[in-house]
């Protein structure tokens, strides 16, 4: 006859040990592993002695800086003015300190008429005119510094001169010459900068308009000759007067 089980589920002796039953009236029952209570695994608290890769910290996103070219990195107006005066000493001109408005050719047209305006337009449409533009050295130095700073990622965001067939190619070569660490896939050429994502846009144009009425970036006005009359305001809170002040603005 089969002996009766002292404890219907698990005899005390089976719980205490896995040795044979003490008497015929007591049957040995082993506890299946799945039924055993397992102690919850404790998660170790971080300590200074833990390896660094044990704690997975979220990576902080880099600050994205969008940088315009003409009037910011490139001394566009000096290059254009020198070419105009050298090739056309007989034509009327506006002294650089008297420049007003975003577009030099538009001011010449308004002040002098079609002849001077068309000469400037012909220069702007000349093959490889943008390749040999003069650099603004403090700007180039500051952007190269940003490129070496792991906190930032730098993109060029420039409007090409669409009627100049070599402009885009020339601008790319200019960047490779003065900012060699910028990869080609970080160069945006567009007439609508509002569609480009960034934290800051450094641009000499006081009005940035486009499809997106609320662009993600903060506009930093880069001070130059034609926008010297623009003052800080609620609409224009960030003005880069000197490149030495850049880190105070974008930090």
Please indicate, yes or no, if residue 93 is contained in any of the structural domains: no
Whether this prediction's pTM lies above 0.85 is answered by: no
For residues 20-39, give the mean pLDDT: 51
Please indicate, yes or no, if residue 202 is contained in any of the structural domains: yes
Q: Which entry of 24, 70, 199, 204 is annotated as an active-site residue?
A: 70
Cα–Cα distances in angstroms (integers) from residue 126 to residues 123, 167, 169, in the given order: 5, 9, 13
Structural domain harbouring 143: 63-75+128-250
Does residue 70 carry a catalytic annotation? Answer: yes
Picking from 98, 66, 93, the residue whose alpha carbon sits closest to that of residue 197 is 66
Please indicate, yes or no, if residue 122 is contained in any of the structural domains: no
Q: CATH number, domain at 140?
A: 3.40.50.1000
Does residue 68 carry a catalytic annotation? Answer: yes
Please indicate, yes or no, if residue 135 is contained in any of the structural domains: yes
Grade residue 12 by pLDDT with cuts at 50, 70 and 90: very low
Mean pLDDT value across the chain: 85
Q: What count of other Cβ atoms lies within 10 Å of the Cβ of residue 209?
A: 11
Query: What is the tens place of the pLDDT at every residue in 42-64?
Result: 555 655 554 545 455 556 789 99
Picking from 93, 94, 90, 96, the residue whose alpha carbon sits closest to that of residue 75 is 96
Question: Please, where are the H alpha helices in 64-149?
Answer: 76-87, 104-112, 114-124, 137-147
Grade residue 8 by pLDDT with cuts at 50, 70 and 90: very low
Task: Decide: helix, strand or coil at residue 130.
Answer: coil
> Residue 240 and residue 73: Cα distance in Å, rounded?
13
For residues 147-166, give the mean pLDDT: 96
Say what the pLDDT of residue 57 is: 56
Please indicate, yes or no, if residue 166 is contained in any of the structural domains: yes
Backbone angles phi, psi at 65, to 5 degrees: -110, 125
Query: What is the tens place of the pLDDT at every residue in 97-120?
Result: 999 999 999 999 999 999 999 999
Cα–Cα distances in angstroms (integers) from residue 190 to residues 14, 16, 56, 157, 162, in the given order: 80, 79, 39, 7, 10
Please indicate, yes or no, if residue 173 is contained in any of the structural domains: yes
Task: Decide: helix, strand or coil at residue 244.
Answer: helix
DSSP codes joined into one string, 200-241: EEEES-S---SS-SS-SSEEEEEP-GGGTT----SS---EES
**Number of folded domains in the chain?**
1
For residues 141-160, give the mean pLDDT: 97
What is the percent of the chain with per-residue pLDDT over 70, rounded to a whole number? 76
Q: Which entry of 68, 75, 170, 203 is annotated as an active-site residue?
A: 68
Cα–Cα distances in angstroms (integers) from residue 162 to residues 2, 208, 218, in the given order: 99, 18, 26
Cα–Cα distances in angstroms (integers) from residue 77 to residues 60, 94, 112, 127, 203, in the given order: 39, 12, 18, 17, 15
Please indicate, yes or no, if residue 22 is contained in any of the structural domains: no
Please indicate, yes or no, if residue 24 is contained in any of the structural domains: no
């Amino acid at each position: 006859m089969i002996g009766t089980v002292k404890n219907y589920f698990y005899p005390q002796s089976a719980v205490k040990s896995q040795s044979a039953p003490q008497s015929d009236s007591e049957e040995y029952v082993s506890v299946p592993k799945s039924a055993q209570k397992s102690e919850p695994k404790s998660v170790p608290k971080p300590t200074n002695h833990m390896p660094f890769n044990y704690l997975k910290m979220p990576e902080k996103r880099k600050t994205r800086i969008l940088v315009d070219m003409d009037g910011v990195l490139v001394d566009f107006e000096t290059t254009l003015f020198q070419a105009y005066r050298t090739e056309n000493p007989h034509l009327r001109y506006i002294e650089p300190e008297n420049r007003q408005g975003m577009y030099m050719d538009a001011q010449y047209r308004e002040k002098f008429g079609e002849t001077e305006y068309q000469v400037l337009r012909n220069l702007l449409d000349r093959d490889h005119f943008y390749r040999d533009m003069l650099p603004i050295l403090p700007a180039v130095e500051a952007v190269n510094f940003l490129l070496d700073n792991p906190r930032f990622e730098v993109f060029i965001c420039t409007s090409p001169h669409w009627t100049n067939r070599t402009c885009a190619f020339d601008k790319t070569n200019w960047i490779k010459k003065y900012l060699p660490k910028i990869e080609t896939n970080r160069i945006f050429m567009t007439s609508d900068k509002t569609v480009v994502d960034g934290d800051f846009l450094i641009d000499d144009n006081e009005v940035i308009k486009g499809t997106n009425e609320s662009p993600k970036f903060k506009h930093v006005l880069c001070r130059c000759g034609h926008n010297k009359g623009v003052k800080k305001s609620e609409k224009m809170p960030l003005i880069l007067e000197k490149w030495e002040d850049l880190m105070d603005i974008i930090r």
